[in-house]
Chains A and B, each alone.
Chain A
Amino acid sequence: MKNLRKLFIRTFLIGSGLLLGIALLVIMVFDNLNLGRFDLTAEQVYKLSPSVEKILSRLEAPIEITYYVSSSEKMPTKWKNLERDVIDKLEELKLASKGRVTYKVFDPSAEEEREAYEERRAKEKEEKGQASKPAPRKRIAERLAEKGVGPFGVQSAERDEFAVKRIYSSLVLSYLDRKEDVIEQVRPEMFGSLEYEIVSRIYKLTATKRPKVGFFPDQPETPPQYRQFQQSPPDAYSMAVELLRNAGYDVVRTNITKDDTIPGDIQTMVMMVDEPLTERQLYEIDRLVHKGVRLVLAGQTYNYQIYPARGGASGGFDVQAMPTRININSLTKNYGFEIDTKIFMDRSAAFVQVPTYRTRRMGIFQIQEQSYEPVSKPVIIKVNQENINSRVSVANKITELFYMYGNRLNLYNEILEKDHLKATVLFTSSNHSWTTESLGYRPVDTSEPASGDFLRRQPLGVLIEGTFSARYLDQPPPKWSSEGSGVDSTAAPLITGPGAPTKIIAYGCSNMFKDDVLRAVDSHKALLLNSVDALTLGDELIHIRAKNIEARRIKETSAFGKSLAKFFVVWFPALCFVALGVVLTMRRKMK
């Protein structure tokens, strides 16, 4: 009997070991297989967009991505899941690319600690005379700084106090011997756009040459009065151009004149239209679209002046509309849209700081003081996230837009249908927008219409795809303005034959890309880059969705509401268990 017991224990132990080994083997085998996953999140944030696989399948050489990240123990609460989320995304990219994308994770903080420890040890040894001074070598922080990777500060809550932690969270993409591309700060709030960020950089890294983009207008010419002071006139779009150049584009600026024509080899033309164009300029744009060059077009029919109201109540401000007199609509009507010529307003408005002057008496002197006052008017339109179409990549990282004095876009469905054009609205106004006519130099009436007269969700940004009808088809090209009006029958090629399919992204507001606004609002930078990326780098890139896992916030809750919620969650179920116990005990006793 005793022998049987011993035999059983031995057999049981060996059998248990074997079964444990088999179970671990099964887990290991399955861990290396991607048998599918079910994403239960509302926005499907953990699933790759279908276009990504197509894009990655075209990779000819492997791309290595290194994620430099501080360990999650060192991260603030909100950042703790970031590493796992990013690694999951990289793992999905690796699987989708069938191994062409590889990744590794590196914790520079751990390396810094190791360096500090080794340094201390070496110093101790040196002091004891056991070792000579080690040869100096670059620290990890210096080596990473050369790549463009550095720690950055993030806010954290520790012991009921806010503190700033310096952490690493950067992605470096390496491809062959090309210059590494760096996503400097990978933050939880950008997780939704991370897929797009990585894939668009892969696109640029693997391209044989830098994508070329045309930009209108060119830097303004320096008038004589500026020359004598060695100054240049203000360039409203210098930052937009810089942004595109920093994003890896070869940007060629052009004023579309006889001596400064649109370069022939551009993939995308960016047009910021502030003033009327000549017939020849319109012709050149038409020719460009006919050739199949993609177009980002932003223009608006009004600018506004906001000034303290004269004779009105103190603190009142008036708005005066100044028409830009742009004539781009004569062209775009053929493409199925136009920038509306009426003044556009929306209840959802931001504010601007308007300078005001006050006169102060100091004895016999009078001093005029300048101060800035915030003014909110319905022409300073704010586009909120719920009005932004996150199903297209153009909306990546766009949380809100300041549609400064912009117009709505009118879409002509009959033209869109006739030419089989596909229009995708990128963002709209709110449900409380309206239009009004300009009244010359009189102040604009900014009062809201009757509740039933509001316009609902008017298109403000639109992507149109297809083959556009050229306005100047088979027409002789107009002369450049410097040669006077008429027809230039010799130099320019005619627009003939069927056009090539292309894409146009149009915005009824060019102010949002001007330096002063662009500098202040990151969403506008993202919108410009996304628009150019989506049109220039490939059709698939447009279909990478903007995914958002931003925290869903709870409503404002009163102190009573908070106490009630705490009671309901913590004590109510516990009391239910107590009640259940009492009832069951009493029933048993009665039995």
Chain B
Amino acid sequence: MKDIWIIFKREFAAYFYSPIAYVFSIIFIVLNCGLYMFHFFFFGNADMRAFFSALPVTLALIFIPAICMRLWSEEKKLGTIELLLTLPMKAEHVVLGKYLAGLAFYLVALAGTLAIPIMLLFLGKPDFGPIIGGYFGAVLLGAFYLAVGIFISGFFADQIVSLIITSLVCGFFALIGWQYVPMVIDGWFPGLGDFLYSYVGVTRHFNDIARGVIDVRSLVYFLSLSALFITLNIKYLDGRKY
């Protein structure tokens, strides 16, 4: 636990030392909140459906890859990864420390969007159930994408390559949850699109939670896939010793 905390502190502070982190956080808030506010007064509904419906894609394509890209790639580029792995720490502690730091930074940025429910409270009587569900889903979604991102970051020394590959993989998980993409895949390989939509796509599970319905199945989906990618990252780093 102590080792995780040491790594967590180092990584979390590192985010705030870099101006890039601020730039990405501001882009994340302005993009998501701006998109939400663009049509807000046109529809005039005191809910956050529009905000949460865009989140799987905006997180997958921009924000999470940006958080993750430096986690291992920078260590590799600077050569500090060998030093880190030879420290008297278990690989899982190092990975978890870095992962939790990324997650904490994401939560700080996500907290910036809490201005929306505050505004809704002043302008109407929103049902806070789906809003709480939406934020809970956003945490699970971010945790899952981060697990994917940290895993991919472990393979590349170049941060940009890491960012692009993470965007592609997370984007795949987001897009496969839309109905149109599985339909096209089903056209080529009957049944595959439906399988990917039902069991692999992230959007369906996220949308359920964002509606205010926390289903055990969705929790299992997010937790098992997050655990899978973290485990793979640990195993891969363990193997680098050879």
Contacts and interface: CB of A to CB of B under 8 A. Distances in A.
Contacts of B45: 551-554
B44 A554 contact: yes
B89 interface: no
B127 to A, nearest CB: 5
A552 B127 contact: yes
B119 A81 contact: no
A233 B115 CA distance: 64
A16 B129 contact: no
Interface in B204-242: 204, 207-208, 211-217, 220-221, 224-225, 227-228, 231-232, 235-236, 239, 242
A30 B217 CA distance: 6
B136 to A, nearest CB: 9
Interface residues of A, number: 62
Nearest to B213: A46
Nearest to A40: B129
A24 B198 CA distance: 11
A229 B212 CA distance: 63
A523 B41 CA distance: 29
Nearest to B127: A42
Interface stretch (A31-39, A485-493, A528-536): A31-39
B65 interface: no
A15 B235 contact: yes
A19 B29 contact: no
B112 A576 contact: yes
B149 to A, nearest CB: 16
B93 interface: no
Interface in B172-187: 179-180, 183
Interface string B40-59: 11111111010000000000
Contact of B221 (A27, A555, A580): A27
B239 A578 contact: no
User: B-side binding surface: helix, strand, loop or mixed?
Assistant: helix
B79 interface: no
A82 to B, nearest CB: 12
A88 B183 CA distance: 20
A224 B114 CA distance: 76
A26 B232 CA distance: 17
A28 B179 contact: no
A39 B227 CA distance: 26
Given A30-B220, A41-B212, A577-B112, A570 B200 contact: no
B224 A27 contact: yes
A412 interface: no
B108 to A, nearest CB: 9
Interface stretch (A199-207, A435-443, A561-569): A561-569
B165 interface: no
Contacts of B22: 577-578, 580-581
A573 interface: yes
Contacts of A157: 42
Contacts of A588: 17
A40 B126 CA distance: 13
B37 interface: yes
B48 to A, nearest CB: 11
In order of increasing CB-CB distance, the 6 nearest A-B pairs are A40-B129, A573-B112, A35-B216, A554-B124, A40-B212, A554-B123
28 contacts: A8-B242, A12-B239, A19-B228, A19-B232, A23-B228, A27-B199, A27-B217, A27-B224, A30-B216, A30-B220, A31-B198, A35-B216, A37-B213, A37-B216, A39-B129, A40-B129, A40-B130, A40-B132, A42-B127, A71-B180, A88-B208, A554-B46, A570-B29, A573-B29, A573-B33, A573-B112, A573-B115, A577-B29
Given A553-B124, A578-B22, 11 more contacts: A12-B235, A12-B239, A23-B227, A31-B217, A36-B215, A38-B213, A73-B180, A88-B208, A565-B40, A569-B37, A573-B115
